[in-house]
Structure 1
């Protein structure tokens, strides 16, 4: 399997076999296929397995601390690679890389999370931070706290990002009102809000593309 993976650079290799290879470092003398297939069956895909909460992974028979650590290290390595690509060039001219990173971070999150990408005057990402973590369908956002943090980082612009665990990225009335409040508060300090991205399992919504932000 390892030779086949190297020969194909991973092309055409099913999710459960990728998991087998990841888990082989943990179970060097055992068969990793049953656990790999059980994980894909439980969570649906390789990406969902890697993003699954530790407590849920631990409920899959045979998935102990060492296996969970291997899965989480793999995901973290992938996220850091995507983050580096997103930061490599100004955000507005590197939009697909930025979107790929945001989707990787939030697409499979089961709790709503509000993040902010802080940009400098050249629209280079200078920080990516989780500001709030809420419930399955709500995250409280405080415009003054957003602006305060932007000033601390000397940011010139922001991109707001949050997920909808339901999978549907359609903005709610509350999402729209919150975005306008943040944009208004930021504008008083000369800080632009370039966009607000809502990430769902079934896609994403850009407020700027929808005309919901000026």
Structure 2
């Protein structure tokens, strides 16, 4: 059935306008983005098929250009639009944490860090450098590794902290496996960096681990004491 023949309150776009974007399913949100279906398949059916093919919304958003363009109903225009939307989201999150001290809005900081790392296919390690009032100075990915490990060099973290004249920082890395649980190596490395950076008067405020679901704060779980 053509989606125009559906009851008005069941059409994704009208539902969004009436109830808000949060009321839509992943398929309905994707249908609003796509705008139209293909021959023999309305837009919601197309959206459901794409989610099934890729394994979910996250996997679709993280798909490389070649995989995306290979699917019926997608193309360079939609790929460009999607990448622009994702970048708008990242910049919006970055702006939201620029306006205030990072630790006054830890949820926004974690969302920003997740937006920067969640698409990485291998493990990466980054730092959000902060001034004396905990306002962001810069974000950098410092090390890239394999699917389950990235070698961290404390000297480089110290060097970049001095370069940015940082007074504090928030460490972060991703787990491509999806689990946010820190390993013993993660805990030991964090404590080692915390002690080393203290020698140059740079505080490590947190270490955020990015996986599936909500990012994990090591300081909130008590793994940074010591």
TM category, shorter? 0.7 to 0.9
Q: Select which of 125, 129, 132 maps to 1:121.
A: 132
Q: Select which of 72, 75, 80 maps to 2:91.
A: 80
CA–CA separation in structure 2 for the residues paired with 1:176 and 1:11: 36
Q: Equivalences for 1:125-164 in 2 at 5 Å?
A: 125-164=136-175
Deviation at residue 178 of structure 1 after TM alignment? 2.0
Aligned with 2:21: secondary structure?
Answer: coil
Counterpart of 2:27 in structure 1 is 16
CA–CA separation in structure 2 for the residues paired with 1:24 and 1:107: 26
Which residues of structure 1 form unaligned runs of 5+?
none
1:93 aligns with 2:109: no
Structure number with greater CO (CA < 8 Å, separation at least 6) is: 1
Contact 1:26–1:67 under 8 Å retained in 2: no
Counterpart of 2:224 in structure 1 is 213
Aligned with 1:122: secondary structure?
Answer: coil
Aligned with 1:171: secondary structure?
Answer: coil
Which residues of structure 2 form unaligned runs of 5+?
1-10
1:106 aligns with 2:117: yes
CA–CA separation in structure 2 for the residues paired with 1:202 and 1:18: 19
Contact 2:37–2:46 under 8 Å retained in 1: no
CA–CA separation in structure 2 for the residues paired with 1:161 and 1:18: 29
Counterpart of 2:8 in structure 1 is none
Q: Equivalences for 1:50-69 in 2 at 5 Å?
A: 50-69=61-80
Aligned with 1:132: secondary structure?
Answer: strand
Aligned with 1:104: secondary structure?
Answer: helix
CA–CA separation in structure 2 for the residues paired with 1:49 and 1:88: 31
Counterpart of 2:7 in structure 1 is none
Query: TM-score normalised to the size of structure 2?
Result: 0.81
CA–CA separation in structure 2 for the residues paired with 1:213 and 1:110: 27
Cα deviation digits, residues 60-86 of structure 1 (max 9, x gap): 344332222121111111121122222
Query: TM-score normalised to the size of structure 1?
Result: 0.85
Contact 1:35–1:63 under 8 Å retained in 2: no
CA–CA separation in structure 1 for the residues paired with 2:35 and 2:116: 25
